[in-house]
Structure 1
Amino acid sequence: MAVATSVFHRVRTGSKIGAQYDQDGNLIQVETREDEEQSVKLTEILELLLAAGYFRARIKGLSPFDKVVGGMTWCITTCNFDIDVDLLFQENSTIGQKISLTEKIVSVLPKMKCPHRLEPHQIQGLDFIHIFPVIQWLVKRAIETREEMGDYVRAYSISQFQKSHSLPEDKEFVQRKDKAVRAVLDVLEVYKPQRKYRRHRNAEELLDEESRVHSTLLEYGRILLRSSSSLLFAPFQVDEGKVSLAGGSQAASHGVVDVSEEEDLQAVEEVRTLFTDLCFQGKLTASAVGQLVGLQSEEIKQFASEYAEKQLELSSEEHEHYGPLQQHHRVVASLNKQIQQKTKELGEVCRSLCQRLWGKELVCLEEVEEQADRRLLDKLRALVTMNENLKQQEQEFRTHCREEMARLQRNIQELKSASGQDTEEEKERDQLIDKQYNTGREKLQKIRLLMARRNREIAILQRKIDEVPSRAELTQYQKRFIELYSQVSATHKETKQFFTLYNTLDDKKVYLEKEVNLLNSIHDNFQQAMSSSAAKEQFLKQMEQIVEGIKQNRIKMEKKKQENKMRRDQLNDEYLELLDKQRLYFKTVKDFKEVRKACA
């Protein structure tokens, strides 16, 4: 049990990194301090997580890192974003696991369009000041997502319930709905418009909208109120495709005469023509009365009075129907006139304002000229005049040069054509010049190729020089390698302790099994051994042999323990010697730097 208990005193995971030493070889003591602002932010973060529903933050045995990272992961998963971590049953992670966790969390935040930036080292270093806004945003987003999902689940539950179940109110509503729909359809069927007449295909086309509306209404047995020139007499309106005409003794003898649709239309047109003439005449004449087919005098008077009443009604209704339209046209025309008038006034105002501005600018320029130095102003004017003259002279000089160049080129061409061909000396001289030119050109090309080759070599050397790390980079690499070595050594030490613990527990298990088997054997053979003295003596001898074997095993284990202690002491002595050498090395390096500074 002594061996087993010593194994449990192992380094807690991630709680300590390998020892670090300064230049003198002394152990570096790391100071730890509690930041009040950080602790306040941690408390606020935990309160936010508890308010959001992450109750693992109440567990006192968890570290702040586990609480914060667990809360962030819970919020991210609540917002329906995937993150490849599992924090439910894994606590006190190693440094490598913490780094991977923080990197995965930080990689998910941009996908969620988080407005706050966060780095993995800030989470690992527990920088709660920078973590707090991210936690606040995640909690808000998680609550919103949970509300949206709650509404969605509620609506889905209601729809699923309504598919298989229904309330009594719903059944009653469905029955009343069917009845109401049937009633509405019946009403629509009864009162739907029915065409009574049809316009002839060969009739002339109606151009204005009012005539088309009037024609359509006539087809369905309705009359549009129009002006007095096109007045329709309402009492003679065709009803259900039938017209009844009453006339003296014929009406009494023959009754009501049913005619076809064409005859009805002709009768209506005759009556319409008659009463249109009456409208223009303003009174009933004898000829108009004679045209009425055998109508009695009383009926004629009745129709005349009804005609006057209808004329008054139609004139009032015509004013009601077409008055707003004419009023609208008049308003539009007046508004257009006002717009044109305002546009003209605005143009005149703009012109007057421009003239005023020009006048003010001229006045300002005159005031500036009066306030400025007269000599300086005269000098500037002279310089401006000189500049204009120089520009004009330059333009004239350029024109003169072009003309002179053209004249000289013409002279050269004339001389070449007059001489016919060059002399032998001039040809040799031209050939020599061409040869020298070609030689110089080839030499220049070779020099350019050589320069390009040198530039490539210089670029290659420059890249090689850039690949060699500087002292600062080497220092960073060294620090990083030291950190990685510390992490690897801590992991190796932890793994070694796990193996030692496993081996110890396995040995303990073997010994306990042997002990249990021995006790079972003693218990089984005890009654039989106590039955006789010979069996009792044999049983005691076996027990002595077992005890002797246990003592031998104990002596072996003690010997092995002493050997391990001696080896530990030997390794400790070697470690102390190496520490002395390290201190001496740091001291020598320090002295060397001081001597080098003194020599420099």
Structure 2
Amino acid sequence: MFGQKKGESVALAASAADAQARFDELVDLLVAAGYHRARISSLAPFDKIVGGMAWCMTATSVDVDVEFLENATIGQKIKIGENIERTLKFMKCRIPLQAHQIQGLDYAAIFPVVQWLVKQAYAFREEIADATRRLSANQFDRNYVLPADAELATRRAAARPTGQRLCTCYAPVRRFRPKSHGGASVAALHARRVLMEFGTQVSALAAAEVAAAESAENSKDKAKGSAEEEPVDAEAAAKLEEALTDMAETSQDAEQGVSQNRIGKLVQMGASDIQQAALEFAKKSEALLSSGEMAAAHRLRAEREATERQLEHERRQLQQVADRAAAVAASLAAGEALKAQVHKQMGTIAAERAELAREMAELEAQAASAPPEELAKLQELVFLCERMSQQKSEFKKQCARQMEEMNSELASLEQDQAKSADDDETANLVEIERLHAAEDGKASQMRRLVGQKGREISALHRQVDDIPSSAELMQYERRFRELNQQVASKLEETRKFYSLFNTLEEKKGYLSKEVSLLNSIHENYTKAAAGNKDRIVESVEGLLKSVQQNLQKVEQRLKDAVSARDATQQRYDKLVEKQRKYFQLVKEYQAECQRNEMLSS
């Protein structure tokens, strides 16, 4: 037993230490978040924790109002916990926390909620800081300018006219224009011509590429075994000369043709470059130019692509043919199955026909071998059967006609009965309406009576409610006692204030008398100082006698007050003794009443 109690005490001590540690962590977390009231040692743990939670809720971005009271009662604590629980649900907190856990300070359940609230407060604080920082920067930029920015703006303003003038001077100007506006067969050649129109020099490599592209375009339709083409540099030069020949120089005043000398000069200036670029281009594309036929490589590539497209087309056609063959094979198999089924049915029909022919032959043989009398009798029976069948069909027709006649008669009878039933139903409806009106009147009268009785019952209920019950009387009595105590305490406080006021008033009077007495002594002394000393002594003695008389009067009043207090205390003691005896007698009376009830029962 002692070991069990010791184990329970150790567990309680461990839980208390754990709770204290969690409480310290919560206080540190709230202080770090900015709630410094948690450092006040005189506050209760409930006020620290719940006050910190309320502060965190008001410090977030959610518009909530949490009412918090310090030194609250049990009911107020429960109400505060319920308000916090509703507020957490409104803030969409996913951590469950209930009001009794808050009121009971369940630190294990409160700690994650406080962590979440502190995170929300930090996030809102960061948002407010960022917004304030942006607003400050915006206001500063609107009203002030940094020296570096002002200098940069000045430099930009000073450099802007120069930049505009340079852009105007060095703007691209069209120097050449093609004579014929027909579209180029090669896109690369068209691009180079456009660049040459605005004075851009085309490199030799680019000219070689243009020449190669156009030669490949022109050699697609030629045979494979054609003669060798001209060198790349000569062809590029020819293309460049042809492009420049097709263009005309353009000036601001008028368009004039380009002379043949200038075109030759341009071609002569780019010949060496074209030769060098052609050699480099030949080295880079050695694999394709091993036979010296660039067009053949392009042609082979085009033929391979065409062959692949043709092969893909043939493959698709083959797949379509295979699909159609599969569909035909499936339909052929279905036709074979249908043909086998038809053959089987034909065999069955042939077997049935053979069986019928055999039976007919047997019947004819029996009829030939049978006596004539039996045959005649059999024929009569057959005729009789046919006649009975005919009579049966006629009887069915006659039954059908009689059935139709009976149905028509039944319909007419139903109509007559419906008419008579309508008349009866009308009379019944009139009677029912009369009874309904009578019952409705009775129901209305009963409703009026019920309403009247309900009003009477409500009046009686109000009268009964006006009479207080025993619990209400006890509550009223308790409230009246509290009010009496409050009134008594207020009266006692007022009396103390009155007595204090009277005492201070008397003290003030005595002090004023003392001051006036000292003033009179001073005045008389100054007047009598010039005369005889006996007069001073006589005046002082008179003052002393008057003071002694006042002192005797005050002491007499003090004695009267003390005697009155003693008499009042004696009366109070007598009343207290009488009250004690009264309570003792009441207790004895209650005991005797209980004893009497026990004896009588």
Q: TM-score range by the shorter chain?
A: 0.3 to 0.5
Greater fraction helix: 2
TM-score w.r.t. length of structure 2: 0.47
TM-score, normalised to structure 1's length? 0.47
Question: Which one has more relative contact order, counting CA pairs under 8 Å at least 6 apart?
Answer: 1
Larger Rg computed on CA atoms: 2
